Structure 1
Amino acid sequence: MARKPGAVRHGPGPALMLGALGVVYGDIGTSPLYAFKEAVKAATAGGAAVPAAALGAVSLILWSLILIVSLKYAVLILRADNRGEGGIVAMLALLGARQARPGTWKAVLLVIGLVGAALLYGDGAITPAISVLSAIEGLKVDAPVLTPFVVPITLVILVALFAVQHKGVAVIGRVFGPVMLIWFVVLVLLAIPSILRAPEILGAVNPWRAVDFLAHAGWHVSFMMLGAAFLAVTGGEAMYADLGHFGAPAIRVAWFGLVLPALLIHYCGQGALLMADPSAIENPFYLLAPEWAHYPLVALATMATVIASQAVISGVYSLTQQSIQLGFMPTMRVVHTDQDERGQIYVPAVNWLLAAGTLTAVVVFESSDALAGAYGIAVSALMGITTLLAALIALRWGYNPILVFAANGFFLAIDALFFAANSVKLFEGGWFPLVLAAAVAFLMLTWMKGNHVLEAVRETMRQPEATFLARLASHPPVTLPGTAAFLTAATEGIPMALGRLVERSRCLHERILLITVIYEEAPVIPAEERAQVTLVAQGIRKAISKYTPGMERVVLRYGFMQTASIPEGLQCAVKSGLLPPEYLEDLTYFVGHEVVIPSARPGMALWRQGLFAFMKRNAERTGAHFCLPTRQIVEVGTEIEI
């Protein structure tokens, strides 16, 4: 899939590549802490000798990295960008699934996409837990007496990590890249001596080693081994999710130039160690290092896993913001921790819910071995969904269907195989991220369904412009000085807040703005294209000229990666000459405060209506969401039965 016109282009500069090391490759870069160990343990469960299992596991991991991460993500998926942005939400926007009508194939696609997005929340809870826990477990190598303290130390680190999120990661982020650069160099340095002692491990480059081992191991052992080996590619999905921050060139150069070679060499090093010393299976990563380096390596591994965890947490924040903008989630408080960086955000509600999930995972599973059973199933499902959506995007862009089905079908088959293998671990912990993902997906679908029902009721309550103007003419209101801005979700009809204000107070400001904010399917809308201003109806100035000089409808357009600010949007309208400057003088914002009342109306189950009403009550206030000055807001309450 070639890049489409209008896509954002990033050059592969050194700064971007260094940043990509810390943000994009933190997760997959720390997989050597546990992935190879789990793959060999799974392989030996059927009675295979450790050296043979090590050779088969290394071969399987190497070719998984080549096929899934290198070919599928780096070569194929990165091309399916939405004007430079990546990720599941960007894909859904690109396919236009947000406005899907119930019962259509796009509606099914929307559900699949939302499930994929929800899986990232499950992954976001597991990744920090298994990463940090596996790093701290290195203490047990030289000091088994510290074993009881591994979980408490992990919990302290994770609590501290989530507790400092509100401060932002701008300063810490500057060291992410250099630390991960050191990490990948250390991975190579640890492996080379081991490979020189057992060079026969290089035979793992032959994919037949993996195929032959799996073919003779029995289906159960093979599936367990595939599921464990998949841990080595978890984190590869970050390539696409972080596409907008670094661009495809920097991500590809960092991967093929450093990360992939370092991982291939390191996994060969761990395999060579087990071929020479099968007893090292308990922790081959740390046993690669000389004894004097164990504690420094624990410290470096802890820093690397914290970086990997931070990257995942920041990714969840970004996903949440995009989902809110596109209407998949209720509005929440989003704090910009760095005014100069669009992606530096903090979502308090998500932060502490994610913290609860992560800490629960550590307490419940207690070790990286146990957590390995919970890890992988969510990511494998997400990768399959990404492959499917990428195929649909390619078809939408007009690519040869035969080539699309051949390429994406091949990778989808691999995704399905790994998902099936990870499903074997469903009752060993795989249920944990799936339960989290199912809960998030259900809340997303409930929010969207509830808003659909709510908007249908609103439409019956809004007055048509002609009716409203006729009432103004027959019952002239008292004229108030200044400008009144009424927020409305619709681009037609009179906002309920305006109708109620005139009905109850018999007054109307001399200048009226009807403001609608629309989030487009594109990630960013330029400021010069922000505002569109039209008359509410033809001849409206004449109809109400003796009461008010004008009533304008203002539509403000934002991308799903942007934060909507109505004051900023109105300034854009003034700068573009669409509104006179005096409209922003003495401005009062009238915001509807809707209280949703569940009812027995068809369209949504009563208990689900109650859940939607609860979400609506606890959503961020409209004024705060659109950055309105609190001293200029007047809320007009309305009860709505849905």
Structure 2
Amino acid sequence: MSSKEAVVVVENNEAEIEQVCDHPRAHTQLARFQRNDSLDMESRSFSTLRAHPSPKGPAMSVIMQLAFQSIGIVYGDIGTSPLYVYASTFTDGIKHKDDILGVLSLIFYTITLIPLVKYVLIVLRANDNGDGGTFALYSLLCRYAKVGLIPNQQLEDAEVSHYQLELPKSNRVKRASRLKSKLENSQFAKLFLLFATMLGTSMVIGDGVLTPCISVLSAVGGIKQETSITDDGVVWISVAILVCLFMVQRFGTDKVGYSFAPIICIWFAFIGGIGAYNFIKYDTSVIKAINPKYIIDYFRRNKKDAWISLGGVVLAITGTEALFADVGHFTVRSIQISMCSVTYPALILAYTGQASFLRENTDLVSDTFYKSLPHNLYWPMFVVAVAAAIIASQAMISGTFSIIQQSLSLGCFPRVKIVHTSGKYEGQVYIPEINYILMLACVAVTAGFKSTTKIGNAYGIAVVFVMTLTSAFLTLIMIMIWKTNILLVIAYVVIIGSVELIYLSSVLYKFDQGGYLPLAFAAVLMTIMYVWNDVYRRKYYYELENKISPERVKEIAVNVEFCRIPGMAMFYSELVQGIPPIFKHYMENVPALHSVLVFVSIKSLPISKVPLEERFLFRRVEPKELNVFRCVARYGYTDVRNEQEPFEKVLAEKLKEFIANEIWVSQKLLQNAETAGGGGDGDGDDIDGVQQACDEERTLEGVEREIEVVEKAERDGIVHLIGESEVVAGKGSGIGKRILIDYGYNFLKRNLRQTDKVFDIPHKRLVKVGMTYEL
């Protein structure tokens, strides 16, 4: 922005600033430019009761297009469940024909209760400005109550669009306030919420490993019916498909919706149509399964075996979490329409048709899906089934990448490279390291287990764990944020919660039959997350306790031994409140300051996106002549950090806007104060008008001078200074702390991405400043 452009900025803001200055609380606007604010200290409290007006929703035509696209993205996993549910439920064969009715009734009520009632009608309402998943629920709680473990909240955060929650007006405030107070005052509660979020994240990643395995293996297994290929051959074909699937991830999924939706639509049409055909052809009396009495009879006949078989029934709702996790790519209404109009009817018809077939062919339960097909449709159905399995895998792999990206924002995952594969869809990301780890894990599981039954045992645990955690978070949201009637909360916990806990107890019973697998994945991932997050928090608290005061910076800057060199320096740190101690270390070794110095802190807010115009929060370090500023760059957990326009260029432009606004607002407020203090008319008004014109001209000249200083510094060159702090356990630390910091954390740090690679900082203008912290 040139000096002439600065005039335009000032003129564009003049009318708005005059309105601000005329407001009786104008001094609060000036406070935004003062230095003794929340960039120095943590905010103690701020209201979350004010809500931004909700934008008008998209047109119905757009919603219908999104509903169509969502069929290809969201329902691949739950849609391919008919491939293996009956085989996984009746692992020892069908002992009584009415057992089929009991299992069909279980499937019907499970699909109705969990995906339809819980997720479509309730959980989707708990989205975070359109984004879903475990992390979104945790973010809602962090915004409403101070349950985050890092004290980097700021008063200005509450001014960001969509930060405030739209809370219902209710008289149930007292109960919500009590619960909020207990959470905020309990360190255990804060740790538990973070632990639960990590566990949910780990389980979904485990789901991302198991979905490709069971879906592809089940689909390819059908080839044995028409060929002489053995079980080992099926395994190796599945492995080859999985390797190809992961190899093409780097190309992104830009047109994934329109590409995949037609295939999944054909799949749903096939399974629904074949289900209706089998229902009419074999046994229409299975419609009796709508009576829940058959569930009771099933448990009476089979007792413990019926309870164990629930681990197979629960596979009918695998992928349900994708309804919520992927809502950010679509809208709540579009997901509701596609689920109710396409997915739910097709699944009910498919399971009903298979039940009718099994009533006449109880000995074919191990290959129910392919055996129940009309012979002429075998090969078309095989091709569509394999394609649908690949699509189901793609959805969970993409979801895993998104979850890792969200975990990074929380400081719960080591730095990895995130590649944004689409300029049109911001949420589509690719993480090379995670992709190769997932590929190796999928190949190992497929080659090691070889059977969908064993993989199904593992799969069920991952699915039900995530659902149970979602219900726990949702209960807190219903009480604290929505302020739901307590009777409805109790009804939700009793009905939905009890069903999920029964399923969880069943899948845990098969721990030694493959069920240990997702728990082993979760244990490894949570160890990595815990080590990284624990040391991340320790580092933040160390810098907070040892931060440099603005007065100390002033002393350093005015020291005659230091010289000012041309150019702009951007000094990066994670500390939001104050200036990090590593700056003092730098000044002691390099006695020089650039003509413009900006301390930059990258901060993640517990919201999905921060608009660019609200991203940068600037403050000036006094005295003014130093040209030292502090900047907090705020991002949501789904925001792109390596924008197409270089970060340094955007920051410099916003800095110049800040300087122009700061000077103009200060001058306007000063003029208003003088006007309010004196009075006059006639010739006095003319003199005041001339004086005001002179003041405005001087203000404009001041703006141009300061902006010219910044522009000259830009022309002289921008240098990026990154504080690379090494951490070691302090003297006298116990063995546990030494293992955690000296070995665990430092091993992860050495083997993963560095800050400059994450933020795409040019190497030619990068200076790393090293310092050792004893934690």
**TM-score, structure 1 length as denominator?**
0.93
Q: Which residue of 2 aligns with 1:98?
A: 148
* Match 2:86 to one of 29, 36, 52: 36
Change (3 A) 1:53 1:11: farther
Q: Which residue of the partner structure matches residue 540 of structure 1?
A: 623
After superposition, where does 1:460-609 map in structure 2 within 5 Å?
A: 460-536=545-621, 539-541=622-624, 545=625, 548=626, 550-565=627-642, 566-567=647-648, 569-570=650-651, 573-574=654-655, 576-578=657-659, 580=707, 582=711, 584-585=714-715, 586-602=717-733, 605-609=737-741
- Give the conservation status (yes or no) of the 8 Å contact 1:7–1:82: no
Instruction: Please give the alpha-carbon distance, in whole angstroms, between the structure 2 residues aligned to 1:55 and 1:225.
Output: 14
2: CA distance, partners of 1:347 / 1:121: 13
- Do the aligned partners of residues 298 and 146 (structure 1) sit closer, same or farther apart at CA in structure 2, a change above 3 Å counting? farther
Cα distance in 1 between the residues matched to 2:295 and 2:577: 62
Q: 1:575 to 1:493 in 2, by over 3 A?
A: closer
1:170 to 250, 254, 262: 254
**Separation (CA, whole Å) in 1 of partners of 2:758 and 2:465:** 33
Kindly indicate whether the alpha-carbon contact (under 8 Å) linking 2:547 and 2:581 is maintained by their aligned counterparts in 1.
yes
| Equivalent residue number for residue 148 of structure 1 | 232
Equivalent pairs counted in the alignment come to: 626
Aligned amino acid, residue 370 of structure 1: K
Comparing 471-480 and 54-63, the one that deviates more: 471-480
Q: Secondary structure at the match of 1:518?
A: strand
How big is the shift at 1:6?
6.0
Distance across 2 between alignment mates of 1:443 and 1:225? 34
Aligned residue identity for 2:444: T
Amino acid aligned to 1:553: R
SS at match of 1:535: strand
TM-score normalised per structure 2: 0.78
How far apart, in 1, do the equivalents of 2:728 and 2:194 lie?
A: 27
Counterpart in the other structure of 1:18: 68
Residues 609 and 638 in structure 2, CA contact (< 8 A), matched pair in contact too: yes
Give the Å deviation of 1:523: 0.5
Q: Which residue of 1 aligns with 2:18?
A: none
Distance 1:117 1:10 in 2: 30
In the alignment, residue 723 of structure 2 is paired with which amino acid? G
Aligned positions of 1:365-380 closer than 5 A: 365-380=449-464
Alignment of 1:376-525 (within 5 A): 376-397=460-481, 398-525=483-610
Matched residues in 2 for 1:324 and 1:605: separation? Answer: 23
**Contact 1:187 1:266 (C-alpha < 8 Å) held by counterparts:** yes
Classify the secondary structure of the residue corresponding to 1:71.
helix
Q: Does 1:59 align with 2:142?
A: no
Correspondence 1:348 to 2:432: yes
Three-state SS of the structure 1 residue aligned to 2:217 is helix
Tell which deviates more after alignment, 291-300 or 60-69.
291-300
Distance in 1, Cα, partners of 2:651 & 2:547: 24
In structure 2, the residue matched to 1:206 is 291
2:358 is the counterpart of 1:264: no
Read off the aligned partner of 1:613 and give its amino acid letter.
N
Tell me how far apart the structure 1 counterparts of residues 92 and 347 of structure 2 sit (CA, whole Å): 20
Gaps of 5+ in 2: 1-50, 151-183, 661-706
Residue of structure 1 aligned with 2:326, choices 229, 242, 262: 242
Pairing of 1:352-363 with structure 2 (within 5 A):
352-363=436-447
2:753 equivalent to 1:620: yes
- Deviation track 1:254-306 (CA, whole Å, cap 9, x = no partner) reads 01101000000010010000112223212111112122322222211110000
Alignment of 1:268-279 (within 5 A): 268-279=352-363
Q: Which stretch shifts more, 95-104 or 300-309?
A: 95-104
Q: Assess, with a 3 A threshold, how the Cα gap between structure 1 residues 257 and 635 changes in structure 2: closer, same or farther.
A: same
User: Mean Cα displacement is larger for which, 436-445 or 128-137?
Assistant: 436-445
Contact 2:572/2:599, CA 8 A, preserved across alignment: yes
Structure 2 CA distance for aligned equivalents of residues 630 and 285 of structure 1 = 57
- Residue 499 of structure 1 deviates from its aligned partner by 2.4
Secondary structure, aligned partner of 2:567: strand
Q: 2: distance between equivalents of 1:7 and 1:40?
A: 49
CA–CA separation in structure 1 for the residues paired with 2:541 and 2:290: 60
Alignment partner of 1:107 out of 164, 186, 191:
191
What per-residue deviation string (whole Å, max 9, x for no partner) do you get for residues 198-232 of structure 1? 101111122222232123311x2112221110000
Distance in 1 of aligned mates of 2:395 and 2:300: 37
CA distance in 1, matches of 2:262, 2:618: 49
One-letter amino acid of the counterpart of residue 40, structure 1: F
Which of 286, 309, 332 is the aligned partner of 1:225? 309
Q: Residue 641 of structure 2: SS of its match in structure 1?
A: coil
The alpha-carbon deviation at position 501 of structure 1 amounts to 3.0
Supply the AA of the counterpart residue of 2:638. M
* Secondary structure of residue in 1 paired with 2:90: helix
Distance in 2 of aligned mates of 1:614 and 1:563: 27
Mapped partners of 2:718, 2:423: distance in 1: 26
SS at structure 2 position matched to 1:249:
helix
Secondary structure of the structure 2 residue equivalent to 1:283 = helix
Deviation digits for residues 479-531 of structure 1 (CA, Å, limit 9, x no counterpart): 10011110121234433453233211211111110111211111111111111
Structure 1: state its 5+ residue gaps: none
d(CA) in 2 for partners of 1:600, 1:272: 71
CA contact 1:133–1:150 (8 Å) conserved in 2: yes
Alignment of structure 1 residues 121-136 onto 2, 5 Å? 121-136=205-220
Structure exhibiting the larger radius of gyration computed from Cα positions: 2
User: Paired residue for 1:27?
Assistant: 77
| Identity rate, percent | 29
Distance, in Å, in 1 between the alignment partners of 2:52 and 2:87 is 45
One-letter amino acid matched to 1:513: V
1:243 CA drift (Å): 1.3
Partner residue in 1 for 2:270 = 186
**Range moving further from structure 2, 451-460 or 514-523:** 451-460
Q: Deviations along 1:585-635, whole A, 9 cap, x unmatched?
A: 421111112223345554862112110111222332212222333332221
User: Residues 14-49 of structure 1: CA distance to partner in whole angstroms, max 9, x if unpaired?
Assistant: 3211211111111000000001222233673xxx22
- The code of the aligned residue for 2:72 comes to G
- 8 Å Cα contact 1:595-1:617 kept in structure 2: no
CA–CA distance in structure 2, aligned partners of residues 468 and 456 of structure 1: 20
Q: What residue number does 2:773 align with?
A: 640
Asked if structure 2 preserves the Cα contact closer than 8 Å seen for 1:42 and 1:225, the reply is no
Q: What CA distance in whole angstroms lies between the structure 1 residues aligned with 2:139 and 2:527?
A: 20
AA at the equivalent of 2:123? I
Q: Among 283, 292, 303, which residue is 2:387 paired with?
A: 303
- SS of 1:553 mapped into structure 2: strand
Indicate the larger mover: 362-371 or 557-566. 557-566
Return closer, same or farther for 1:216/1:568 CA change in 2, 3 Å cut-off.
farther
